Copies of this chain bind each other. A is one copy, B any other.
Amino acid sequence: MSCVLAAGGLTASDLTALLLGLGVLLGLARTLGEIARWLGQPAVLGEIAAGVLLGPTVLGRFFPGLHEVVFPAEGGAFLALGGFLTVAVTLLLLIAGLELDLSVVWRQGKAALLISLSGLLLPAGIGVALGFGAPMMLGKAEAAPVLPFALFLGIAMAITALPIIAKVLMDLNMFRTDLGMLIMSAAMVDDLIGWMAFAVVLALMVGGPHDAPTLSVAGTIVGTLLFAGFALTLFRYAVHKALPWIQARTSWPGGVLGLMLSLALLCAALTEWLGVHAIFGAFLAGIAIGDSSHLRERTKATVHDFVSYVFAPVFFASIGLRLDFFSAFDPLITAVVVVVAIVVKVGGCGLGARLAGLTGRESWAIGFGMSARGAMEIVLAQLAKGAGLITDKLFVAIVLMALITSLLAGPMIQKVLRRRRSVKVGDLVTDGAFIRRLESTTAAQAIAELMRTLADRLGVPVEDAIRQAVERERLVGTGLGDGIAAPHCRLPINGPLVAVGLSDTGLDFDAADGSLARMVILLITPQDDATVHLELLSDLAHTLTDSEAKAAALRSTSYMEMKAAFNTVHPPTHA
């Protein structure tokens, strides 16, 4: 039976393969992505690994028949999956554009410009030189001309990975610092110029062996520049002016979502027609829309969550789907690409930072931060491979380079600046320090009951610790209201400790709203580190502003449910 939808043309077996393929890609990519995160690595590492497992490298090698059923290499399901992946990567670039905030760049001024230009020109120059010097050795495709290949290599060295950088800075509590904003601004300029340049490179490929070009090279370049100029000025202004009207007059959030997505798709279609790939249009649409201060954080979060956790994992997993990573791995090309990529970017950005008057340590931090290439580099390499510019060997080398530079950024900044990762209440609580039903009937008893669960991890006898915490409680009650209390004290320990208890009857922690505490969160922080203490209190306060998470915490009936409540809080919004 063929359940052909009106606009279909696909048979039932095509649809089965398409849905099965998407479901398997998404499921395995998200699973391995989470495992990568547990190991302290970026999720994209696991997502790519999922594709390697499902592609010719593993599944296709050992179960070629099964691989062909789930991911056929021709026919309706093949084409439909390809179309879906194009939409996925287009939306991925839309959210990358949404994150790029031009106004932040203007505010940072000269220093940002110096860092970004130095961090752009040096890597790009060396990349181009290498491309001209040894194209075949580095993996230029036989049929591709040298000029676009060398330009591509320059761009591949020069671009950065905004999402990775933003994530690293947030983890280290540096996102809102001057240094953090400087790194972000410089990275934005690099990406903007890098992607514009790549559009030109793709235009130079027009008239390649595959397809009849719609426009001449000059037409493509002029058209692309005109569109970019239009998108970043008039288009951006029009969206900013229209948003209040859209948000006031149309359904919420449907009006904005529909506008955002349809504009992104239309801009993508335009740049694809111009000959510079769809994603460039979506990226520019994202910048133009995301720049408006009228756009609500919640709308951005909806698009961001759906795209990063549904479309993006499928896209990254698809990379390994048609490529045998074993046979395409070339140690020499990989080593050259990885070493050059790190040296030129750390050197270029660090040099710019020194010239802008930053300290040595700060300059190293900026260098390593901006060296992260991340997901965007992989998208770029994917396009270059699709356009017949590079060999599979160089592609694999660039994917590995993107992963390695991204893995390095966090630990290196941490080491250079001696920062530590920010702590969260939810991450500190453990199964052993959780009491489902507190037996206590007073605040002091509850503090003692909870403190005993931490006994062997305290630096002092548990009775001393209890005495200190209870005394602290007597000074001012730590009831936060709404049924939650957070008694705390500081002890000579190395790292912070948290214990959580639930009380069915409620305990009097002298809250301002008069409510009895049904959840008691005991916080113990190191005596010699005041910032940890403030960080934990501020994280707790933020958690409690999320009314759904707070309600879930209060009605939790097990350790896992309590832990889930603390984990399902949306991060503070960054304007």
Contact = CB atoms under 8 A, between A and B. Distances in A.
Number of copies: 2
B548 A298 contact: yes
Nearest to A552: B296
Q: Interface on chain A toward B: helix, strand, loop, or mixed SS? A: helix
Contact of A210 (B2, B207, B251, B321): B2
Given A5-B82, A7-B81, A37-B250, 10 more contacts: A3-B277, A6-B322, A10-B83, A20-B273, A76-B83, A80-B82, A248-B561, A248-B563, A258-B310, A545-B547
A208 B318 contact: no
Interface string A256-280: 0111011111101100110101100
A170 to B, nearest CB: 13
28 contacts: A1-B207, A1-B213, A5-B318, A7-B322, A8-B386, A13-B211, A14-B83, A15-B272, A16-B272, A16-B273, A19-B269, A19-B278, A20-B265, A22-B87, A23-B265, A23-B268, A26-B258, A30-B254, A30-B262, A33-B254, A37-B251, A248-B563, A251-B309, A257-B305, A257-B309, A294-B564, A296-B552, A303-B306
Interface in A277-336: 277-278, 294, 296-298, 301-303, 305-306, 308-310, 313, 318-319, 321-323
Given A37-B251, A76-B79, A561 B11 contact: no
A524 B80 CA distance: 57
Contacts of A82: 4-5, 7-10, 76, 80
B561 A272 contact: no
Contacts of A297: 548
| Interface size range on A against B | 35 or more
A463 to B, nearest CB: 32
Nearest to A89: B5
A252 interface: yes
Among A22, A77, A319, the one with the most B-chain Cβ atoms within 10 Å of its Cβ is A22
A90 interface: yes
B257 A310 contact: yes
Interface string A534-549: 0000000000010110
A66 to B, nearest CB: 14
B262 A23 contact: yes
Contacts of A213: 1
Among A19, A26, A78, A569, the one with the most B-chain Cβ atoms within 10 Å of its Cβ is A19
A269 B16 contact: yes
A265 B314 CA distance: 12
A255 B27 CA distance: 10
A308 B257 CA distance: 10
A6 B387 contact: no
A382 B6 contact: yes
Nearest to A563: B248
Contact of A19 (B4, B15, B272, B275): B272
A206 B265 CA distance: 38
Contacts of A86: 5, 8, 10, 15, 18-19, 80
A6 B269 CA distance: 19
A208 B1 contact: yes
A264 B86 CA distance: 21
A111 to B, nearest CB: 29
A21 B404 CA distance: 39
A207 B1 CA distance: 6
A210 to B, nearest CB: 3
Given A7-B318, A84-B80, A266-B23, A248 B202 contact: no
Contacts of A33: 251, 254, 258
Nearest to A315: B5
A344 interface: no
A568 interface: yes
Nearest to A77: B83
A201 to B, nearest CB: 11
B248 A560 contact: yes
Contact of A302 (B37, B266, B302): B302
Interface string A19-51: 110111011011101100100000100000000
